Amino acid sequence: MTTGGTRLAFLRPRSWPLTTQLIAAVVALFLVLSVGTATFTVLALRGQLLDQIDADVTATLARATGEGAGRPGGPGDGPAGGPGVGPVPGGRGESVTVILDDEGSFLVNRIEHGMTVGQLSSDQLDALDEAHLGSRPRTVDIAGVGDYRVAQATTPTGLTVISGLPMSGVTQVVNTALTLVAGATIVGLALATLVGQWLIRRGLAPLQRVAQTATQVSRLRLDSGDVALAQRVPEADTDARTEAGQVGLALNQMLDNVEGALRSRHESETRVRQFVADASHELRTPLASIRGYAELSRRETAPVPETVAHALTRVESESLRMQGLVEDLLLLARLDAGRPLEREPVDLSLLAVNAVSDAHAASPEHRWELDLPDEPVEVPGDPARLHQVVANLLANARTHTPPGTRVVTSLRREGAWVRLSVTDNGPGVPAELLGSVFERFTRGDAARNRAGGSTGLGLSIVDAVARTHGGRVEVDSAPGRATFSVVLPA
């Protein structure tokens, strides 16, 4: 199918590259002009040669029908014994002469063909008779000798004179002219193709350099970070007086605009990240103080109203939750800032075992299972951050699935990669959230039951840590099943 589609696309000139289209147009134009000129030249040459033969035939008839045409036995008697009618046409070594009296008897029946002089056969005479000759020469195919231009006239004495000259000379000249024209056309076509290709490629070279610049820019990562667009179209290809220069100039202006917009975006993101990092850092101290005072108040031996004790418990609980949120925001800010993580061998198998054990202790109502290979699986990375990745995936399954849900943590090698997956048989991820499930503050509370609080940052931390390790995250969901995977380089 692909080969057929490519073949059909090749048959559509609009799908060809611009260089090929221009070369094909130049070659086609040259071919049309050459064929047209050659046709006109050959036809004109043939017409002129025919006019010359017709003039010779007409002159021969004029001499044959002159004053001496009716004196039989004159000095012009032919070899067949017929009466003379002036000079016998020829002078070229080939001619046809037939003279009949008023009763239709042959006085002269003569044909000169090359070095042979003889008489016309009955078939050849029948061809002349069937041609219905007149005073204007016409072409007659005389069997055995070829085409002749033949005309007929009647003398004042009633004799019928038929005279003709061969067209072999005309055919030879025309064939020679056709050969020369065809050869010249082929040579010219080859030269037009080569020279035209060179000129067109030279003329389109600026556009190719513009395309190369655009291709280089298209391969840059522009989605995050400080982007510097150093690629520009060379100044020599930005001449506004040419079409290619106008394209190059427009591309440079567009790149300047894009670079300015990306710089503004990066500066804005940097300010937001710095604010989040500063705010998170500043909030850690007052939250720790609130939590400490809440714990201290609950330890007082003096009796406190039940409502006050409950309020203090809630203050401590919410301070812990806010402290976790602040820590998550601070971690994301540090990852966004590109701070390097530790790099050491990490045993993912042991890490998964410990994380599942913690998850079982946190939610014994769920069914936690492990699917690990026989050999330990190691990857280079930060042990604490990778442990947080697995813990967040398990916490996501615990938070958004009802009790009794089966959660399987699996680990597999895939060539140069390692895939860590957490699969549950819960309600699944809503289709409208699949594209944004790893974005910050994304929640599926409307579709999934919540067993506890969720900040909406757990999966975004998983994504950020995976990307920092050179990996990626994936999600596959359907009603009754959801699989979250982290793919890391091995």
CATH number at residue 388: 3.30.565.10
Assess contact for 445 and 454: CB atoms under 8 A: yes
Residue 76 pLDDT > 60: no
Domain check: are 335 and 348 in the same one? no
pLDDT of residue 388: 86
Percent of the chain with pLDDT over 90: 6
Higher pLDDT, 126 or 423: 423
Same domain, 418 and 329: no
Q: Hey, is 90 helix, strand or coil?
A: coil
Residue 370 pLDDT exceeds 60: yes
**pLDDT for residue 484:** 92
Residue 398 belongs to a domain: yes
Do 321 and 361 meet the contact criterion of CB atoms below 8 Å apart?
Answer: no
- Domain count of the fold of the chain: 2
Q: What integer pLDDT is reported at residue 280 of this predicted model?
A: 65
With bands split at pLDDT 50, 70 and 90, how would you rate the model's confidence at 365? Answer: very high
* Residues 412, 353 share a domain: yes
354 lies in the same domain as 477: yes
Query: The CATH number of the domain where 287 resides is what?
Result: 1.10.287.130
Across 217-221, 226-230, 342-346, 378-382, least confident range:
226-230
Per DSSP, which regions of 124-249 are E strands?
138-142, 146-154, 160-166
Query: Residue 58 falls within a domain, yes or no?
Result: no
Q: Is residue 117 part of a domain?
A: no
Helix axes 348-362, 383-399, angle to 10 degrees: 40
Q: Does 150 or 299 have the greater pLDDT score?
A: 150
The more confident residue out of 361 and 10 is 361
Lowest mean pLDDT among 171-180, 431-440, 447-456: 447-456
**Residue 363 reports pLDDT greater than 70:** yes
Q: What is the mean pLDDT of the chain?
A: 78
**Domain assignment present for 203:** no
**Number of alpha carbons in the 13 Å side-chain half-sphere of residue 469:** 30
Residue 273 lies in a domain: yes
Listed in sequence order, the residues at least 6 apart from 267 whose beta carbon sits closer than 8 Å to its beta carbon are none
Domain check: are 361 and 425 in the same one?
A: yes
Residue 96: in which H helix or E strand, if any? strand 95-100
Percent of the chain with pLDDT strictly greater than 70: 80
For residue range 215-254, what is the model confidence (pLDDT) as tens digits? 887 777 776 666 677 778 887 777 788 877 888 888 888 8
Higher-scoring residue by pLDDT: 9, 365? 365
Q: Answer with the one of 339, 374, 400 that is the final residue of a domain.
A: 339
Whether 115 is in a domain gets the answer no
Q: Which CA distances in Å does 480 have to 153, 392, 406, 473?
A: 109, 21, 11, 21
pLDDT band at 71 (very low <50, low <70, confident <90, very high): very low
Which band of pLDDT confidence, cut at 50, 70 and 90, is reported for residue 384? confident
Question: 316 and 334, same structural domain?
Answer: yes
Cβ pair 229, 261 in contact under 8 A: no
| Statement: residue 17 has pLDDT above 80 | no
Which position has the higher pLDDT, 444 or 204?
204
Which residue would you say has higher pLDDT here, 2 or 466? 466
Say whether both 249 and 283 belong to one domain: yes
| In a shared domain, residues 326 and 245 | yes
Banded pLDDT at 447 (limits 50, 70, 90): very low
335, 396: one domain? no
Q: Which pLDDT score is estimated for 90?
A: 38
Give pLDDT tens digits for 151-208: 988 888 888 888 888 888 888 898 999 999 889 889 988 888 888 888 888 877 888 8
The domain of 421 spans 344-489
Q: Are 327 and 277 in contact (CB under 8 A)?
A: no
Looking at the fold, whether 427 and 404 belong to one and the same domain comes out as yes
Whether residue 1 is predicted with pLDDT greater than 70 in this model: the reply is no
Backbone angles phi, psi at 367, to 5 degrees: -100, 105
Report whether pLDDT(67) > 80.
no
Query: Exposed, middle or buried, 16 (CB in 10 Å: 0-12/13-18/19+)?
Result: middle
Higher pLDDT, 101 or 440: 101
**Residue that terminates a domain, selected from 281, 304, 339:** 339
Between 20 and 174, whose confidence is greater?
174
Write down the pLDDT at residue 408. Answer: 92
Element (H, E) at 99: strand 95-100
pLDDT value of position 83: 37
Give the per-residue pLDDT at 40: 92
Co-location of 348 and 456 in the same domain: yes
Q: What is the pLDDT of residues 269-318, one digit of tens each?
A: 777 666 666 666 667 677 777 777 777 777 766 676 777 777 777 777 77
CB atoms within 10 A of CB 355: 25
Domain-located, residue 385: yes
